[in-house]
Structure 1
Amino acid sequence: MLRVLAGPRAFSHIKAHGLNAADVQSVVCASGAAKTLTTIGLDKVILGQWLKNIDHVVDLLGTSAGAFKLAAACRKDTLEWLDRFADIYCTQTYAERINEPDIRDTISWAPQELIETLIADGGDKEILSHPNFRLHIGTVRSFNQLASENVKRQKQAIARAALLSLQSSHSLRGMAERVVFSDTRSTKALRPIDEYPTHNVALDKKNLGPALNASGAIPVMMHGVEIETEDGIHLYRDGGMLDYHPIPSQLWPSNEGIILYPHFYDYLKWRWFDKFYPWRKVSASKLDNVVIFAPSNDYVKSLPYRRIPSRSDFKRFIKDEPKRIDVWQTAVQRSEELGEAFLELVQSGRIADEMVLLK
C-alpha cells in the first residue's frame, strides 16, 4: 500500500535505528494541484499526530498546492485544517463563473478563496507562531515576457522555455528567479546550488496570503501576484516552475536530519518542464537524507478510474461536477489507509525491512 524509498544516508540511519520523530528535521510537499489530495491522510498522521508532541523545530517547505497544505498544517488544529483544506479543494467549482470574460479571473478565484479561509480569523497569526513548525513558501519572481500580464507574451515565453528545456534545466534563466518566503524564526540557511538567482524574504502577516497565492499562480492560466519586498514590487508566479518537486539539498545543502517527503509519486521531478520527460528523475545523490512515502501502484489502481486525482479532471468531468467531487473525495477518504500504513511501519519497526534504497 505504501512505498518507502530512502536516500543512502537516510537508508543507513533507519536500518540501524528505525525512524523516530526526533530524527526529522524537515517535511517537504510538492506542487501537483489535485494530486496532493492523494496523501492527505498520510499528511495528517505525519504532521498532526506523529510530529505533534515533538520538542524540536521542523521546517516545512512547499510550492503551490504543497505550500497550501503545509500552511494548513501550521494551524493549531492540524488535523481539522488539513481536512478543511481537502474539503475546500475537492468542492471548488467554476460552473457559476465560467462565463467571466477573462478565464484567468475564473481560475484564480478558487485558490484565493482557499487561502483567505486558511489565514482568516487569526489563522495568519497561528501559522506564523506555530511552536514547532517553520513554514517556507517557494515562488518565482518573473521578468521580461514572463512578467507580462499579456497572455500572448506569456505563451511565447513558456514556449521558448519549453524548447530550451530539451537541452538544459536552466531554460527559464533571465525570466525567473527563485524567491522563498520563510518564517523568520527558522535557522535554516538558504544556499541554493543551482544557477538561478535566489532570494530569501521574511514571511509576515502582510505577505503570507500573497506568497501562498503566488506559489500556485500558473502562468497563462492565472494572474500573477504583485508583492512588495525590500527591493521593490515584482510580479510573482508558480513556485513549481523552478521547484516542481522541491529538492532540499539544492536549497539547504547543510541539512543534517531526516527529511520526510510524503508524495504522490515514488520519484521526484525538479523543474516544471521535467514532468514531460520520463527520463528526468532526481538522482539519489541529491536525496541523501530524504525518505519518500508514496502510494504503491496497487493502491493507485484501487482508486476510482485506477489513478490519482488530476487537475485535468476539471475538463474530464466538465458536464458532471458532482462526479468529479465524488472521485476526489473518495481519494481523500482512502488516503487515511496510507496514514495507518505509515504508523504501522514506524511503530513496528518494519520500515527498516520495507524501505527501498533510492538509486
Structure 2
Amino acid sequence: MATDWLQLRAGKSAWLQIKEQGLTEDAVQLLVGASGGPKWFVLQGLDRYLFGEFFAARQGHLDLLGTSAGAWRFAALGQQDPVAASELFCRLYSTQTYSAKPDVLEITDEARKLLAEYIPDRAVDEILSQDRFRHHWIVARCRGMTAIEGKRQILGLLTSAAANSVKRKWLGKFYERVIFHHPASPATFTEHWNDIPTRYAQLSTANFKQALLATGSIPLVLEGVRDIPGAPAGIYRDGGVTDYHFDLDFSGVDGLVLYPHFHHEVIPGWFDKRIKKRRTTGSQWPNVILLTPTQEFIDALPFGKIPDRTDFAKLDADARIKYWHQAVEQGKWMADQFHEWVATDKIRDKVELWT
C-alpha cells in the first residue's frame, strides 16, 4: 500500500464541495501562508506546483494572505517567473550563515541583503502592476513597551504574553494588526477582523520592501521597522505575533481557502503556542482546505523533524544547509502526491472532514 505523505483536511462546506466536484484552481479564492521561519522548506515543492502549474491557467484574481515566512514565500507570485523567484528565495534563505554569536544588527543586516536580492526594484514593479495575485500581509504595530528596542523589550513581551494568556483580545492593548494590501484589492474579505485593533495600508513602491521586512521581524531577533511610508507611524514587527497561524473569520472569502501548512495544528498567535485550548479547527473554518505533512513524512526527514530556527544553534552551517536542502527535496513528495490526487480525482477520497 502506497504511503500518504500528505494529509488533506477540510471544513464542512469545503469537504462537501470536494466530495461532489473535486478541486479546481478556479474554486480557490484565497491562498494562506503562515509564520514559521525554516519550517516552510517542506512546503517549497507545493509552492512550485501551485505557483507554476495549479494556478497558471486560473481565471480571475487570487487573494494571498501571509505573515512572516508566509508573506515572503508569496512575494514570488506576481513576479514574471514565480517558480524561479520561489527557488531563489529558498536558496538564499537556506544558505544563510552568521558569525558564531550573531546579534540583532547582524541578523537584520543579513535579512536586508536577502530581501534586496530576492525582491529587486524590478520585482516590486512587476508585482504591483499586475492584479492576478493580490497580496495581503499582516504586520504587528507595537504599542507601549513592545515598541522598545534592545533587551528592555523583554518586559513588553512578557506583559503582552501574560495579557494574552487571560484573553486573546487583550493582545490588542500591546499590538495593532496592520494589513498591507495590494493596490488592486479592496481587502473586503478582512472587514470582520475586529478581534484586535486593525488598520489598513496600501502596498506601494515606497513601502513594499519595508512592509515585507517588517512582517518577518521577529522580536528580539531582528530590529523592528520604524515608520513605514503610507502606514501609521510607529515600530512594526513580525505579523506572527498577532496572527501566527491565524484565527480569523474567512466567511467573507467568496470561494475556497487553500492553506498549505507545515503543522497539524493551527495556532492563532505567537503567544498561544503553549495554550493548548487555543487551536483553530475546521468547525471555525468551513471553507478552508488544510494541507499538511503526515507523521510518516516527518519521520522520514533527517532527525525526524521539520526544520526550525533552533537548527542555527544546534548544527554547524554545512550540516544545517545539507539538512534543509534534504527537507526541500523531500517536500516534493507532497507536491507530487497532491498533483496526482487533483489530476486523477483521488482527492475526493483523500479529503478528510476537519472538525
TM range (shorter): over 0.9
- Other structure's SS at 2:219 match: coil
Deviations along 1:119-173, whole A, 9 cap, x unmatched? 2150111122334111111101111101112421x10011112223332213422
Distance 2:143 2:161 in 1: 16
1:130-169, aligned counterparts within 5 Å? 130-152=130-152, 154-169=153-168
The answer to whether the 8 Å contact 1:28/1:246 transfers is: no
TM-score normalised by length of structure 1 = 0.93
Deviations along 1:30-54, whole A, 9 cap, x unmatched? 0000001111001111122110111
Distance 2:187 2:131 in 1: 16
The answer to whether the 8 Å contact 2:32/2:258 transfers is: yes
The answer to whether the 8 Å contact 1:142/1:177 transfers is: yes
Q: CA deviation at 1:337?
A: 1.3
1:83-232, aligned counterparts within 5 Å? 83-95=87-99, 98=100, 103-152=103-152, 154-189=153-188, 190-230=190-230, 232=232
1:1-359, aligned counterparts within 5 Å? 1-95=5-99, 98=100, 103-152=103-152, 154-189=153-188, 190-230=190-230, 232-247=232-247, 249-250=248-249, 252-317=250-315, 320-359=316-355
The answer to whether the 8 Å contact 2:211/2:228 transfers is: no
**Partner amino acid, structure 2, of 1:342:** F
**CA shift in 2, pair 1:194/1:7, >3 Å:** same
The answer to whether the 8 Å contact 2:210/2:228 transfers is: no
The answer to whether the 8 Å contact 1:74/1:130 transfers is: yes
Distance 1:50 1:36 in 2: 19
Query: What is the Cα-based RMSD across aligned positions, in Å?
Result: 1.6
- Other structure's SS at 2:111 match: helix
Runs of 4+ off more than 4 Å: 229-232
- Other structure's SS at 2:296 match: helix
Distance 1:141 1:121 in 2: 25
Distance 1:184 1:131 in 2: 8
The answer to whether the 8 Å contact 1:48/1:73 transfers is: no
Distance 1:259 1:195 in 2: 20
Distance 2:173 2:308 in 1: 31
- Count how many residue pairs are aligned between Structure 1 and Structure 2: 350
The answer to whether the 8 Å contact 1:191/1:253 transfers is: no
Q: Structure 1 vs Structure 2: percent identity of aligned residues?
A: 32
Q: CA deviation at 1:76?
A: 1.4
